[in-house]
Structure 1
Amino acid sequence: MGYKPPGFQGSRSWIGCVEASLCLDYFGGPQGRLCHVPRGTGLQGELERLYSHFTGGGGPVMVGGDADAQSKALLGVCLGPGTEAYVLVLDPHYWGTPKNPSELQAAGWVSWREVSTAFDPNSFYNLCLTNPNSEKQQQPWTEGSQN
């Protein structure tokens, strides 16, 4: 894509949410909308956005940070009574034949985590909210249709 220096191709260097969003666009994947959160404590203020994203049919949310180097993908949010809030976190490093949900949960690949402890309060975070139902994705199906 020309975004990184030539030595990056073929390397084992990591990419972040910004690059993932660029790749989605470049390769025609779902639209990725970026949301920057300056500190992990600010994620509490993004819960309504995440809830609306998921209830509106949005796809997984890629999460990357600076001080928190643990990659995450969010699959859901649960707003409990009072100030309790949880996110369904998928560890994107899992590979292999998918196991049943119980085994994945028992091994820690997927888990509900309280927002206040799932994110480093001193790390910034970039969220890439994917929308598989974006206009861009529907275009090939609607361009040739006759109404």
Structure 2
Amino acid sequence: MVDGSYDYYHYMQDKYDDSGWGCAYRSLQTICSWFQRQHYTTTPVPSHLQIQKILVDIGDKQRSFVGSKQWIGAIELGFILDTLLGISCKVITVSSGADMPSKAREIAHHFDTQGTPIMIGGGVLAYTLLGIAFNDRTGACAFLILDPHFTGADDLRAIQRGQWVAWKPADGRAAAGGDLFMKDAFYNLLCPQRPSMV
């Protein structure tokens, strides 16, 4: 599981309407909060606008991207973490949602060695992965998903009751509805690496 604390960022937080397009931004904010809470950085968690400006400044996006409602993915999150915090990332690519269990050992190794939250991007939804449970004997696994698609007030009971932060089987349902991992979509798992501290 993730090692340490983090803040849960989700749709409509801070009275900012990103419903339908901001899930990866919110996952990035959650990951940035983890690095802040573990005292790796004092850099504030970036806003959607700051994220967009960084991607334009590094040449990844056109100027028209700033202020838009365009999606971003795992690769863009990697650019932001590198530029903003000096954090390097590894990417685990999965060709189909049906293949997510085949990466269980690799994901478990990440949590054992790095302990950072993982951003899952692909299909039409982005999530933050906080842990994995894997049975070596049967191959069964479950994913501890922090789902940024929640739109309500910051009420822990409502979040837990609605399964917005919950263990989910690989073939489970997303809290917002539909398959958690779609068989006809590919996924990139962005695995931030802890900085080398002296």
TM-score, with structure 2 as normaliser: 0.60
Shift of 1:18: 0.5
2:69 matched residue in structure 1: 12
Q: Partner of 2:113 in structure 1? A: 56
Distance 1:52 1:85 in 2: 14
2:93 corresponds in structure 1 to 36
Q: Deviations over 1:34-68 (max 9, x none)?
A: 12211112222111010011122321110111xx3
Q: Letter of the aligned partner of 2:113 in structure 1? A: G
**Superimposed CA distance per residue, residues 53-85 of structure 1 (whole angstroms, 9 cap, x where no aligned partner):** 1122321110111xx312111100001351321
Aligned residue identity for 1:78:
A
Q: Contact 2:141–2:169 (CA<8 Å) still a contact in 1?
A: yes
2:170 matches 1:108:
no
1:57-114 CA distance string (max 9 Å, x none): 321110111xx312111100001351321000011244787544x5422122101111
Matches within 5 A, 1:62-81: 62-65=119-122, 68-80=123-135
Q: Does 2:84 correspond to 1:27?
A: yes
State whether structure 2 residue 185 is matched by structure 1 residue 129: no
Check whether the contact 1:58–1:129 (CA below 8 A) recurs between aligned residues. no
Change (3 A) 1:95 1:31: farther
| Structure 2: distance between partners of 1:29 and 1:76 | 24
The one of the two structures with greater contact order (alpha-carbon pairs below 8 A, sep at least 6) is 1
Q: Radius of gyration: which is bigger?
A: 1
CA distance in 2, matches of 1:98, 1:51: 29
Structure whose residues are more often strand by fraction: 1
Which AA in structure 1 matches 2:165?
A: V
Q: Which residue of 2 aligns with 1:145?
A: none
The percent of aligned pairs where both chains have the same amino acid is 29
Instruction: Tell me the TM-score normalized by structure 1.
Output: 0.79
Alignment gaps of 5+ in structure 2: 1-57, 173-179
Deviation of the 1:12 alpha carbon: 1.3
Give the unaligned 5+ runs of structure 1.
143-147
1:84 corresponding residue in structure 2: 140
Distance 1:29 1:58, change over 3 A: farther
